[in-house]
């Protein structure tokens, strides 16, 4: 190895080490982006989409021309149940409407909403309820759908730059997971 090659390699290693020191130093500098004088409320979770099954016997017209071994005993349709999301901060409504717009064969109900939250102490209420006027409330299937309804009422204290998360736990209840320490 000649001196010029050694000098190039040493220079490259020094440059890489210097870049690493700068990256480590910059990662320790606290930074608050634009609008960081407030905080943010995030409502986020995913769950299997609940659905209701409606079955009826087939009509003679539907059975016409169908071989006997292929005739269905009943014809069923599945309807995905839409849910409503209501978010209140200090009694003021931030959101009241559908949490999700169901499609024909949607399998997952995903909720992700972000709201600005002024720094300070606030009364928070988040409700997640089935919203299906087309479905018979007396249906036995509605009991399992109604069991998914949940409400969280809590007092939150948010510092500037904080993110307050509301999600569902393993039991299906709305919770605010504990957060670690914020920036120094």
pLDDT in the model for residue 155: 93
pLDDT in tens, 132-173: 655 555 666 666 777 778 899 999 998 888 889 999 998 888
Quick count: other Cβ atoms within 10 Å of Cβ 13?
A: 10
CA distance 38 to 161: 6
pLDDT in the model for residue 98: 84
pLDDT in the model for residue 26: 86
pLDDT in tens, 60-105: 888 888 888 888 889 888 777 778 899 999 999 998 888 765 555 5
Token pair recorded at residue 58: 């087939």
* CA distance readout (Å), 120 to 32, 89, 123: 17, 12, 10
Tokens 């209701």 -> residue: 52
pLDDT in the model for residue 184: 45
CA distance 39 to 30: 16
pTM of the model: 0.66
pLDDT in tens, 23-72: 998 888 876 555 567 788 999 988 887 777 888 998 888 888 888 888 88
Strands 75-80 and 51-56: antiparallel
**CB under 8 Å to 169, separation ≥6 — which residues?**
175
Q: Using the CB atoms, write b or e for 26-60: b if 16+ within 10 Å.
A: eeeeeeeeeeeeebbbebebeeebbbbeeeeeeee
Strands 39-48 and 163-168: parallel
pLDDT at 18 over 90: yes
SS3 182: coil
Domain boundaries, the chain: 3-28+38-175
């Amino acid at each position: 190895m000649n001196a010029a090659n050694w000098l190039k390699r040493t220079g490259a290693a020094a440059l890489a080490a210097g870049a690493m020191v700068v990256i480590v130093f910059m990662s320790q500098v606290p930074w608050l982006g634009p609008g960081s004088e407030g905080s943010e409320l995030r409502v986020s979770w995913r769950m299997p989409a609940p659905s209701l099954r409606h079955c009826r016997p087939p009509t003679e017209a539907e059975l016409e021309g169908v071989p006997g071994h292929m005739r269905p005993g009943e014809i069923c349709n599945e309807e995905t149940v839409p849910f409503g999301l209501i978010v209140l901060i200090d009694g003021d409504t931030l959101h009241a409407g559908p949490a999700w717009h169901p499609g024909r064969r949607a399998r997952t109900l995903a909720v992700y909403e972000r709201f600005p939250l002024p720094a300070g102490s606030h009364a928070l209420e988040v409700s997640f309820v089935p919203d299906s006027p087309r479905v018979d409330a007396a249906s036995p299937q509605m009991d399992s759908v109604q069991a998914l309804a949940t409400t969280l009422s809590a007092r939150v204290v948010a510092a500037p730059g904080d993110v307050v998360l509301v999600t569902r736990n393993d039991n299906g209840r709305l919770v605010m997971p504990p957060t670690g320490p914020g920036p120094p």
